[in-house]
């Protein structure tokens, strides 16, 4: 598979990941953080906002892998 195709697939997958992650984080935050103080809510949103990076790292590594030439 060429690097251009991998980047296209990876970009679509990253967009889907970020959208799904944000929706799940908001759905969890609504009932759990309704009565929490501002500090706890802030910590949750920072962690939830950065949490998508760990699942995205293998995908980005796969996207940037060089093409394999066949001889």
Q: How many domains does the chain have?
A: 1
Q: Is residue 34 part of a domain?
A: yes
Residue 68 and residue 6: Cα distance in Å, rounded? 12
Task: Provide the pLDDT confidence category of residue 70 given band limits of 50, 70 and 90.
Answer: low
Task: Provide the pLDDT confidence category of residue 71 given band limits of 50, 70 and 90.
Answer: low
Task: Provide the pLDDT confidence category of residue 19 given band limits of 50, 70 and 90.
Answer: very high
Q: Is residue 40 part of a domain?
A: yes
The mean pLDDT value for 39-58 works out to: 91
Q: Is residue 12 part of a domain?
A: yes
Domain that holds residue 13: 3-63
Q: Is residue 71 part of a domain?
A: no
Q: Is residue 46 part of a domain?
A: yes
Determine the pLDDT at residue 2.
Answer: 85
């Amino acid at each position: 598979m060429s690097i251009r195709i991998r980047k296209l697939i990876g970009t679509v997958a990253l967009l889907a990941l970020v959208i799904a992650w944000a929706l799940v984080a908001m759905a969890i935050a609504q009932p759990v953080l309704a009565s929490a103080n501002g500090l706890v809510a802030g910590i949750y949103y920072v962690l939830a906002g950065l949490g998508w990076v760990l699942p995205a790292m293998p995908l980005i590594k796969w996207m940037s892998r060089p093409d394999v030439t066949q001889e």
